[in-house]
C-alpha cells in the first residue's frame, strides 16, 4: 500500500507541476484513481512540504509549494 501511495504522490506532483493549482475533489477523476488513495498521497506530499492548500469559497485548492516550483 505504501508503494501505491508513493507512486500516486508522484503522479499528483507531476500533474500539479504541469497544470498548477487544482481543486482536490477533481484529482481522483483526473488521475483515474480511488479517492482514498489520492487523499493519502496528498497527505504524504503535505507532510513533506511539497504542496500547499488554500480555500476559495467551499473549494479546497492544492498547488506545489514555492520550493517545489523552482
Question: What is the per-residue pLDDT across 23-62, written as a single tens digit (0 to 9) for each?
Answer: 999 999 999 999 999 999 999 999 999 999 999 999 999 9
pLDDT at 66: 94
Band (70; pLDDT cuts 50, 70, 90): confident
pLDDT at 57: 97
All structural domains of the chain with their residue ranges = 2-69
Q: Which of 1, 3, 28, 6 is nearest to 62 (CA)?
A: 28
Q: Which CATH number fits domain 2-69: 1.20.1260.10, 1.10.10.10, 2.60.40.10, 3.30.1330.60?
A: 1.10.10.10
Give dist(CA 54, CA 57) in Å, integer.
Answer: 10
Residue spans of alpha helices (H) in 1-70: 2-19, 27-31, 35-47, 66-69
CB 50 within 8 A of CB 65: yes
Amino acid at each position: 500500500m505504501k508503494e501505491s501511495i508513493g507512486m500516486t504522490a508522484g503522479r499528483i506532483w507531476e500533474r500539479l507541476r504541469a497544470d498548477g493549482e487544482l481543486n482536490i475533489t477533481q484529482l481522483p477523476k483526473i488521475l483515474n484513481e480511488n479517492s482514498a488513495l489520492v487523499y493519502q498521497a496528498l497527505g504524504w506530499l503535505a507532510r513533506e512540504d511539497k504542496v500547499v492548500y488554500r480555500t476559495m469559497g467551499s473549494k479546497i485548492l492544492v498547488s506545489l509549494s514555492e520550493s517545489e516550483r523552482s
